[in-house]
Structure 1
Amino acid sequence: TLNDLQLHNNEFTGHIPEELYELTLLQNLILSWNDFTGTISRKLGMLENLKGLHLFDTMMDGSIPSELGQLKFLNFLRTHNNAFTGTIPTDITKLTGLREWWNHQTLVTGAIPFHIGNLIELELLYLNECRLSGPLPPSFYNLTRLQQFYAWDNRNIFDEPISTGLNGTISSDIGNMKALRM
């Protein structure tokens, strides 16, 4: 039974085959540093035993599918340095065991999901160099295990008028985030 598939740092091209999502016992899927194109399939939700998903530094685009929220055992999610667009799916807040999400250097827009605070195990969250906007949601301050949060340079210079990125005030509740390191 295949439970760990690591094909990173090669020169694979084309779309990720739909049949890959039928490997339902996979626990780790690492396809980073390749030249895959296309989108993440909605069949991603079939990989219900996945603990680690690494799709960074590929040539993938499109939106991050809401089916990602079906991966209830996911601990590590790395989708950075891709051309992903659209908003962060709200279903990502169902991943209550998620410890790390690296999604920097993508083209995602909109607000950080309102219920981001549901990710109570989250230790690392990298959302820098995207096109996010709006205030930090109140539930963000529930992330008491968060050690690193990077969100700099979230401006969309192509918006008219230019988007200012994340904004609003920083709540005094940030003092409850004792694990946060500067």
Structure 2
Amino acid sequence: MNGTIGCSCSIADDNLCHITSFDLTRNYLNGTIPVEWASMKNLSSISLTANRLSGNIPGYLGNFTALTYLSLESNQFSGVVPPELGKLASLDTLILSSNKLVGTLPEALAQIKDLGDFRVSDNNLNGTVLEFIGNWTQLRKLRIADTPGPEFPLPIVPEKMNHLVLRNINLSGIIPKEAWDVEKTLDLTFNKLVGELPSTTIRRQFTFLSGNMLTGTVQEAFIERNTYL
């Protein structure tokens, strides 16, 4: 499929107004997201991954109040992450990776209380990872990478996270206990973290810690797992 995307319930089949999911992944779509989509009040999932959409991420996405899943990954969106996304109170998954986004993450994202999966790596963002991430108590997966800015400590992360990737974002200080409890993937490479590795058994599948200033003895539990120091 190629071309632009568009739809309006006022001119299209009434059944479109009852659509709950839009998946246009891996096509050749260009342009941007039509404001008319906001009239589809039951739309809970939008995936536009791997297309050629460009321009700013439209703020009117904040009107898609039923959304629980939004992926704009691997497009050519530019500009800042719009604060209007904070209106998506039901959102569980927000994936903005691999675009051309700039600026800092808006504090309005803190309003999405039940966010479980947030990915924004491979952009041109700057600034720090905001402390409100620790308030996303349902967070299972967090991926932010290659974001220049001032040094800052690793925020407290929620319990029972599966994947925590904070690579090359100028983290400093020690790694808090909560981060060591991440279950599957812990990637904190190329930061300025210090302190000793814990002696407790690491149960996760992958651990990446190279490019820091950690000290201490490498425990056998690290060597037995897929751990990169």
If the length of structure 1 is used for normalisation, what is the TM-score?
0.81
Pairing 1:168–2:207 present: no
Partner of 2:161: 122
CA distance in 1, matches of 2:109, 2:175: 22
2:203 is matched with 178
CA contact (8 A) 1:104 1:127 kept: yes
Paired letter, 1:100: K
Equivalent residue letter for 1:105: D
**3-state SS, counterpart of residue 37 of structure 1:** strand
Q: Distance in 1 between matches of 2:100 and 2:65?
A: 24
SS at match of 1:107: coil
Residue 80 of structure 2 is aligned with which of 24, 36, 39? 39
Cα distance in 2 for partners of 1:51, 1:84 equals: 22
Which one has a larger percent strand, Structure 1 or Structure 2? 2
The aligned counterpart of 2:183 is 146
Contact 1:3 1:26 in 2 (8 A): yes
Please tell me the residue identity of whatever aligns with 1:58: N
CA apart distance, 1:108: 5.0
Equivalent-residue separation in structure 2 for 1:176 and 1:96 (angstroms) = 25
Contact 1:66 1:90 in 2 (8 A): no
Higher RCO (CA 8 Å, separation ≥ 6 residues): 1
Q: Point out the structure with max Rg over C-alpha.
A: 2
Aligned to 1:158: none
Aligned to 1:92: 133
2:172 and 2:133 map into 1 onto residues whose CA distance is: 18
How many angstroms does 1:126 deviate by?
0.8
Paired residue type of 1:152? T
Residue of structure 2 in register with 1:12 after alignment: 53
- Deviations 1:104-140 (CA, angstroms, capped at 9, x unpaired): 2333542211x22xx1121101112332222213443
Identity of aligned residues (%): 28
Cα distance, 1:8 vs structure 2 = 1.6
Show structure 1 runs of 5+ residues with no match. 155-164
Letter in 1 for 2:116: N
Partner of 1:166: helix, strand, or coil? strand
The answer on whether the counterparts of 1:69 and 1:93 sit within 8 Å (CA) in structure 2 is: no
Amino acid at match of 1:101: L
What amino acid is the match of 1:140? Answer: A
**Is residue 88–residue 108 contact of structure 1 (8 Å, CA) maintained in 2?**
no
Q: Considering only aligned residues, what root-mean-square deviation do their CA atoms show, in Å?
A: 1.9
In 1, the alpha carbon distance for the partners of 2:49 and 2:148 equals 22
Q: Taking structure 1 as reference, are residues 108 and 71 closer, same or farther at Cα in structure 2, changes over 3 Å only? A: farther
Gaps in structure 2 of 5+ consecutive residues: 1-41, 207-225
Q: Deviations over 1:136-163 (max 9, x none)?
A: 134434x3x5221011112xxxxxxxxx
